[in-house]
Protein backbone atom coordinates (compact mmCIF):
# COMPACT_ATOMS: atom_id res chain seq x y z
CA UNK A 1 0.00 0.00 0.00
CA UNK A 2 1.41 3.37 -1.01
CA UNK A 3 2.48 5.89 1.63
CA UNK A 4 0.03 8.76 2.07
CA UNK A 5 1.60 12.09 1.07
CA UNK A 6 1.93 14.53 3.96
CA UNK A 7 -0.03 17.76 3.75
CA UNK A 8 1.88 19.35 6.60
CA UNK A 9 2.62 23.00 5.74
CA UNK A 10 6.25 24.02 5.20
CA UNK A 11 8.21 27.23 5.43
CA UNK A 12 8.17 27.31 1.63
CA UNK A 13 4.36 27.46 1.71
CA UNK A 14 4.56 30.43 4.07
CA UNK A 15 7.16 32.10 1.86
CA UNK A 16 4.89 31.73 -1.17
CA UNK A 17 1.88 33.21 0.60
CA UNK A 18 3.91 36.03 2.16
CA UNK A 19 5.72 36.86 -1.07
CA UNK A 20 9.17 36.51 0.49
CA UNK A 21 12.05 34.03 0.33
CA UNK A 22 12.22 30.89 2.49
CA UNK A 23 15.32 32.16 4.38
CA UNK A 24 13.34 35.30 5.28
CA UNK A 25 10.59 33.10 6.73
CA UNK A 26 13.16 31.17 8.80
CA UNK A 27 14.63 34.39 10.17
CA UNK A 28 11.23 35.88 10.92
CA UNK A 29 10.10 32.81 12.86
CA UNK A 30 13.34 32.94 14.87
CA UNK A 31 12.50 36.55 15.76
CA UNK A 32 15.43 37.99 13.85
CA UNK A 33 15.54 41.79 13.82
CA UNK A 34 17.02 41.63 10.33
CA UNK A 35 13.42 41.16 9.12
CA UNK A 36 11.21 44.24 9.39
CA UNK A 37 8.47 44.19 12.01
CA UNK A 38 5.72 44.43 9.37
CA UNK A 39 7.10 41.48 7.40
CA UNK A 40 7.69 39.45 10.55
CA UNK A 41 4.11 39.97 11.76
CA UNK A 42 2.72 39.01 8.34
CA UNK A 43 4.76 35.80 8.30
CA UNK A 44 3.77 34.93 11.88
CA UNK A 45 0.09 35.46 11.04
CA UNK A 46 0.29 33.13 8.03
CA UNK A 47 2.15 30.52 10.11
CA UNK A 48 -0.64 30.58 12.72
CA UNK A 49 -3.32 30.34 10.04
CA UNK A 50 -1.61 27.25 8.58
CA UNK A 51 -0.99 25.75 12.04
CA UNK A 52 2.67 25.65 11.10
CA UNK A 53 5.13 24.33 13.68
CA UNK A 54 8.90 24.35 13.36
CA UNK A 55 10.54 20.98 12.77
CA UNK A 56 13.31 21.16 15.36
CA UNK A 57 15.46 18.52 13.67
CA UNK A 58 15.21 20.14 10.24
CA UNK A 59 15.78 23.55 11.76
CA UNK A 60 18.92 22.30 13.46
CA UNK A 61 20.22 20.88 10.19
CA UNK A 62 19.49 24.09 8.31
CA UNK A 63 21.18 26.21 10.96
CA UNK A 64 24.44 24.31 10.68
CA UNK A 65 27.14 26.68 9.56
CA UNK A 66 30.25 26.10 7.50
CA UNK A 67 32.21 28.39 9.87
CA UNK A 68 33.73 29.84 6.72
CA UNK A 69 33.38 33.37 5.37
CA UNK A 70 34.42 34.65 1.95
CA UNK A 71 36.50 37.77 1.32
CA UNK A 72 35.91 39.08 -2.20
CA UNK A 73 38.21 41.72 -3.71
CA UNK A 74 36.85 43.88 -6.50
CA UNK A 75 39.12 43.46 -9.50
CA UNK A 76 41.05 46.72 -9.86
CA UNK A 77 43.74 46.84 -12.60
CA UNK A 78 47.17 47.74 -11.18
CA UNK A 79 50.61 48.20 -12.81
CA UNK A 80 52.01 45.14 -11.02
CA UNK A 81 49.25 42.88 -12.36
CA UNK A 82 47.95 41.98 -8.89
CA UNK A 83 44.56 43.54 -9.74
CA UNK A 84 44.03 44.44 -6.07
CA UNK A 85 44.16 47.98 -4.70
CA UNK A 86 47.20 48.07 -2.33
CA UNK A 87 45.04 49.49 0.47
CA UNK A 88 42.71 46.49 0.40
CA UNK A 89 45.64 44.11 0.11
CA UNK A 90 47.07 45.67 3.28
CA UNK A 91 43.73 45.03 5.06
CA UNK A 92 43.91 41.30 4.28
CA UNK A 93 46.10 40.54 7.30
CA UNK A 94 43.69 42.23 9.71
CA UNK A 95 40.68 40.34 8.30
CA UNK A 96 42.55 37.02 8.36
CA UNK A 97 43.57 37.55 11.99
CA UNK A 98 40.07 38.64 13.07
CA UNK A 99 38.58 35.56 11.37
CA UNK A 100 41.08 33.19 12.98
CA UNK A 101 40.40 34.68 16.42
CA UNK A 102 36.75 33.71 15.99
CA UNK A 103 37.48 30.21 14.70
CA UNK A 104 36.44 31.08 11.15
CA UNK A 105 38.07 29.91 7.94
CA UNK A 106 38.51 32.49 5.20
CA UNK A 107 38.01 32.01 1.45
CA UNK A 108 39.58 34.69 -0.77
CA UNK A 109 38.64 35.49 -4.35
CA UNK A 110 37.80 38.26 -6.81
CA UNK A 111 34.33 39.70 -7.30
CA UNK A 112 33.32 40.55 -10.85
CA UNK A 113 30.23 42.38 -12.00
CA UNK A 114 29.14 39.51 -14.24
CA UNK A 115 29.46 36.84 -11.53
CA UNK A 116 26.76 35.58 -9.12
CA UNK A 117 28.78 35.78 -5.90
CA UNK A 118 26.05 34.46 -3.61
CA UNK A 119 25.49 31.38 -5.79
CA UNK A 120 29.19 30.46 -5.63
CA UNK A 121 29.56 31.05 -1.91
CA UNK A 122 26.62 31.36 0.47
CA UNK A 123 23.95 29.56 -1.58
CA UNK A 124 26.34 26.65 -2.20
CA UNK A 125 27.15 26.58 1.55
CA UNK A 126 30.83 27.22 0.87
CA UNK A 127 30.58 30.32 3.08
CA UNK A 128 28.16 31.70 5.65
CA UNK A 129 28.59 35.27 4.42
CA UNK A 130 30.64 37.69 2.34
CA UNK A 131 33.04 40.58 3.00
CA UNK A 132 33.26 42.88 -0.03
CA UNK A 133 36.29 45.13 -0.59
CA UNK A 134 36.21 47.69 -3.41
CA UNK A 135 33.44 48.38 -5.88
CA UNK A 136 34.47 50.60 -8.83
CA UNK A 137 31.58 52.81 -9.98
CA UNK A 138 29.13 52.76 -7.05
CA UNK A 139 26.11 53.62 -9.22
CA UNK A 140 26.64 50.33 -11.07
CA UNK A 141 27.49 48.40 -7.92
CA UNK A 142 24.23 49.25 -6.12
CA UNK A 143 22.23 46.91 -8.36
CA UNK A 144 24.46 43.99 -7.37
CA UNK A 145 24.13 44.87 -3.67
CA UNK A 146 20.35 44.98 -4.01
CA UNK A 147 20.43 41.50 -5.55
CA UNK A 148 22.41 40.23 -2.56
CA UNK A 149 19.83 41.72 -0.17
CA UNK A 150 16.96 40.19 -2.16
CA UNK A 151 18.58 36.75 -2.00
CA UNK A 152 19.07 37.06 1.79
CA UNK A 153 22.85 36.88 1.44
CA UNK A 154 24.70 37.95 4.58
CA UNK A 155 27.33 40.51 3.61
CA UNK A 156 29.23 43.56 4.78
CA UNK A 157 31.28 45.93 2.67
CA UNK A 158 34.00 48.52 3.19
CA UNK A 159 32.91 51.87 1.80
CA UNK A 160 31.18 55.18 2.32
CA UNK A 161 28.84 55.13 5.33
CA UNK A 162 25.55 56.94 4.73
CA UNK A 163 21.82 56.77 5.36
CA UNK A 164 21.17 55.29 1.92
CA UNK A 165 23.54 52.34 2.38
CA UNK A 166 22.51 48.97 0.97
CA UNK A 167 23.49 46.31 3.49
CA UNK A 168 25.89 46.65 6.40
CA UNK A 169 28.84 49.02 5.83
CA UNK A 170 32.09 49.75 7.64
CA UNK A 171 34.25 52.66 6.53
CA UNK A 172 36.36 55.67 7.41
CA UNK A 173 35.07 59.11 8.35
CA UNK A 174 35.86 60.44 4.89
CA UNK A 175 34.32 63.87 5.49
CA UNK A 176 36.23 64.34 8.73
CA UNK A 177 39.44 63.17 7.07
CA UNK A 178 38.97 65.61 4.19
CA UNK A 179 38.50 68.39 6.66
CA UNK A 180 41.69 67.36 8.47
CA UNK A 181 43.57 67.50 5.18
CA UNK A 182 42.29 71.01 4.45
CA UNK A 183 43.10 72.25 7.93
CA UNK A 184 46.62 70.83 7.74
CA UNK A 185 47.39 72.49 4.41
CA UNK A 186 45.78 75.79 5.43
CA UNK A 187 47.87 75.82 8.62
CA UNK A 188 50.97 75.64 6.40
CA UNK A 189 49.86 78.79 4.59
CA UNK A 190 48.55 77.00 1.48
CA UNK A 191 45.43 78.58 0.02
CA UNK A 192 45.03 77.22 -3.52
CA UNK A 193 44.45 73.54 -2.78
CA UNK A 194 43.77 71.22 -5.71
CA UNK A 195 41.71 68.07 -5.14
CA UNK A 196 42.51 65.09 -7.35
CA UNK A 197 39.65 62.58 -7.35
CA UNK A 198 36.25 62.01 -8.95
CA UNK A 199 33.97 63.73 -6.46
CA UNK A 200 30.43 62.62 -7.35
CA UNK A 201 27.90 59.83 -6.72
CA UNK A 202 29.98 57.39 -8.75
CA UNK A 203 32.75 57.47 -6.09
CA UNK A 204 31.08 58.50 -2.81
CA UNK A 205 34.20 58.06 -0.64
CA UNK A 206 36.14 60.50 -2.81
CA UNK A 207 33.15 62.86 -2.83
CA UNK A 208 33.02 62.89 0.98
CA UNK A 209 36.76 63.68 1.16
CA UNK A 210 36.26 66.59 -1.20
CA UNK A 211 33.28 67.86 0.81
CA UNK A 212 35.44 67.79 3.93
CA UNK A 213 38.17 69.79 2.18
CA UNK A 214 35.60 72.35 1.02
CA UNK A 215 34.26 72.63 4.58
CA UNK A 216 37.77 73.42 5.86
CA UNK A 217 38.25 76.05 3.16
CA UNK A 218 34.87 77.59 3.94
CA UNK A 219 35.60 77.73 7.67
CA UNK A 220 38.83 79.60 6.87
CA UNK A 221 36.95 82.06 4.62
CA UNK A 222 38.75 80.70 1.53
CA UNK A 223 36.96 80.56 -1.81
CA UNK A 224 36.32 77.05 -3.16
CA UNK A 225 37.42 77.13 -6.81
CA UNK A 226 35.72 74.35 -8.82
CA UNK A 227 38.56 74.51 -11.35
CA UNK A 228 40.86 73.01 -8.70
CA UNK A 229 38.90 69.75 -8.59
CA UNK A 230 40.21 67.34 -11.22
CA UNK A 231 38.68 63.90 -11.78
CA UNK A 232 41.05 61.01 -11.07
CA UNK A 233 40.52 57.37 -10.18
CA UNK A 234 42.81 55.45 -7.85
CA UNK A 235 45.93 54.99 -9.97
CA UNK A 236 49.33 56.62 -10.42
CA UNK A 237 48.52 57.26 -14.07
CA UNK A 238 45.42 59.25 -13.14
CA UNK A 239 47.46 61.28 -10.65
CA UNK A 240 50.00 62.16 -13.32
CA UNK A 241 47.28 63.07 -15.83
CA UNK A 242 45.46 65.29 -13.32
CA UNK A 243 48.58 67.31 -12.52
CA UNK A 244 49.45 67.70 -16.20
CA UNK A 245 45.89 68.92 -16.86
CA UNK A 246 46.21 71.58 -14.14
CA UNK A 247 49.57 72.73 -15.43
CA UNK A 248 48.39 72.80 -19.06
CA UNK A 249 45.45 75.03 -18.12
CA UNK A 250 47.74 77.41 -16.25
CA UNK A 251 45.69 77.05 -13.07
CA UNK A 252 47.56 78.32 -10.03
CA UNK A 253 47.77 76.00 -7.03
CA UNK A 254 50.16 75.63 -4.11
CA UNK A 255 48.94 72.32 -2.63
CA UNK A 256 47.39 69.02 -3.68
CA UNK A 257 45.08 66.77 -1.70
CA UNK A 258 44.78 63.49 -3.59
CA UNK A 259 41.83 61.20 -2.87
CA UNK A 260 44.20 58.22 -2.57
CA UNK A 261 47.91 57.59 -2.07
CA UNK A 262 48.19 56.07 -5.54
CA UNK A 263 46.89 59.30 -7.08
CA UNK A 264 49.27 61.30 -4.86
CA UNK A 265 52.28 59.21 -5.93
CA UNK A 266 51.48 59.90 -9.57
CA UNK A 267 51.04 63.60 -8.77
CA UNK A 268 54.50 63.80 -7.12
CA UNK A 269 56.12 62.11 -10.13
CA UNK A 270 54.43 64.56 -12.53
CA UNK A 271 55.41 67.59 -10.44
CA UNK A 272 59.02 66.40 -10.21
CA UNK A 273 59.13 65.84 -13.98
CA UNK A 274 57.71 69.33 -14.53
CA UNK A 275 60.42 71.00 -12.47
CA UNK A 276 58.18 71.73 -9.46
CA UNK A 277 59.64 71.14 -6.02
CA UNK A 278 57.61 69.25 -3.43
CA UNK A 279 56.80 70.69 -0.94
CA UNK A 280 58.59 74.00 -1.53
CA UNK A 281 56.49 74.93 -4.59
CA UNK A 282 53.54 72.59 -4.10
CA UNK A 283 52.67 70.53 -1.02
CA UNK A 284 51.16 67.10 -1.69
CA UNK A 285 49.19 64.77 0.53
CA UNK A 286 47.24 61.58 -0.04
CA UNK A 287 44.83 59.21 1.68
CA UNK A 288 45.24 55.58 2.87
CA UNK A 289 48.87 55.32 4.09
CA UNK A 290 49.72 52.37 1.88
CA UNK A 291 53.29 51.00 2.30
CA UNK A 292 54.53 52.99 -0.73
CA UNK A 293 53.55 56.28 0.94
CA UNK A 294 56.70 56.37 3.07
CA UNK A 295 58.92 55.43 0.11
CA UNK A 296 58.11 58.29 -2.25
CA UNK A 297 60.52 61.17 -2.79
CA UNK A 298 59.76 63.07 -0.66
CA UNK A 299 57.83 60.74 1.70
CA UNK A 300 54.10 61.32 1.46
CA UNK A 301 51.94 63.04 4.06
CA UNK A 302 48.67 61.12 4.21
CA UNK A 303 45.60 60.17 6.22
CA UNK A 304 45.86 56.72 7.70
CA UNK A 305 42.86 54.43 7.82
CA UNK A 306 42.93 52.02 10.76
CA UNK A 307 43.37 48.68 8.99
CA UNK A 308 43.37 46.57 12.14
CA UNK A 309 40.16 48.08 13.49
CA UNK A 310 38.59 48.01 10.02
CA UNK A 311 39.30 44.29 9.60
CA UNK A 312 37.99 43.57 13.10
CA UNK A 313 34.74 45.47 12.53
CA UNK A 314 34.12 43.90 9.11
CA UNK A 315 34.39 40.37 10.53
CA UNK A 316 32.35 41.23 13.64
CA UNK A 317 29.60 42.88 11.56
CA UNK A 318 29.31 39.84 9.30
CA UNK A 319 29.31 37.43 12.23
CA UNK A 320 26.57 39.47 13.93
CA UNK A 321 24.36 39.07 10.87
CA UNK A 322 25.03 35.34 10.65
CA UNK A 323 24.06 35.01 14.32
CA UNK A 324 20.96 37.23 13.92
CA UNK A 325 22.42 40.04 16.02
CA UNK A 326 22.18 43.75 15.13
CA UNK A 327 24.93 44.89 12.74
CA UNK A 328 24.91 48.71 12.66
CA UNK A 329 27.07 50.65 10.22
CA UNK A 330 30.43 51.68 11.67
CA UNK A 331 32.56 54.76 10.96
CA UNK A 332 36.26 54.91 11.85
CA UNK A 333 38.25 58.17 12.25
CA UNK A 334 41.33 58.62 10.04
CA UNK A 335 44.65 59.83 11.50
CA UNK A 336 46.91 62.44 9.94
CA UNK A 337 50.46 61.19 9.24
CA UNK A 338 52.77 64.13 8.46
CA UNK A 339 55.80 63.51 6.26
CA UNK A 340 58.07 65.66 4.11
CA UNK A 341 55.72 66.10 1.13
CA UNK A 342 53.94 68.86 3.07
CA UNK A 343 56.38 69.75 5.84
CA UNK A 344 59.76 69.62 4.17
Query: For residue range 151-161, what is the model confidence (pLDDT) as tens digits?
Result: 778 899 999 88
Phi, psi angle pair for 158, to nearest 5°: -95, 130
Q: What is the mean pLDDT of the chain?
A: 86
pLDDT over 90 percentage in the chain: 56
pLDDT for residue 133 is more than 50: yes
pLDDT for residue 98 is more than 90: yes
**pLDDT at position 195:** 98
**pLDDT at position 5:** 40
**pLDDT at position 32:** 66
pLDDT for residue 114 is more than 60: no
pLDDT tens for each residue of 30-48: 766 667 888 888 998 998 8
pTM of the model: 0.80
**pLDDT at position 90:** 83
Contact 185, 255 (CB under 8 A): yes
Residue 270: pLDDT band by 50, 70, 90 thresholds?
A: very high
What domains appear along the chain, each with residue ranges and CATH number?
A: 11-62 (1.10.260.40), 68-172+307-332 (3.40.50.2300), 174-305 (3.40.50.2300)
Q: Is the peptide bond before 101 cis (omega within 30 degrees of 0)?
A: no
**pLDDT at position 117:** 60
Q: What pairing do the DSSP bridges indicate for beta strands 193-196 and 229-230?
A: parallel
Burial of 19 (0-12, 13-18, 19+ CB in 10 A): exposed
Q: Mean pLDDT check: name the lowest of 83-92, 133-142, 305-314.
A: 83-92
Contact 24, 15 (CB under 8 A): yes
pLDDT tens for each residue of 8-21: 788 888 988 999 87
Amino acid sequence: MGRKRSTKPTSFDIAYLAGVSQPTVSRALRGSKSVSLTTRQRIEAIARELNYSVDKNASSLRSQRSNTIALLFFEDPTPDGANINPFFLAMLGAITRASANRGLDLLISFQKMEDDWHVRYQDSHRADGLILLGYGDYTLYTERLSQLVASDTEFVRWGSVGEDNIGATVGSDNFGAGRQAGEHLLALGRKRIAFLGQADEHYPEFAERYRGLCAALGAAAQVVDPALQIDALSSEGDGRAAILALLAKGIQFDAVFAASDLIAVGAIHALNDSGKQVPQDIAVMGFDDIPAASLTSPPLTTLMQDLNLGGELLVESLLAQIEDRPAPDQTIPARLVVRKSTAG
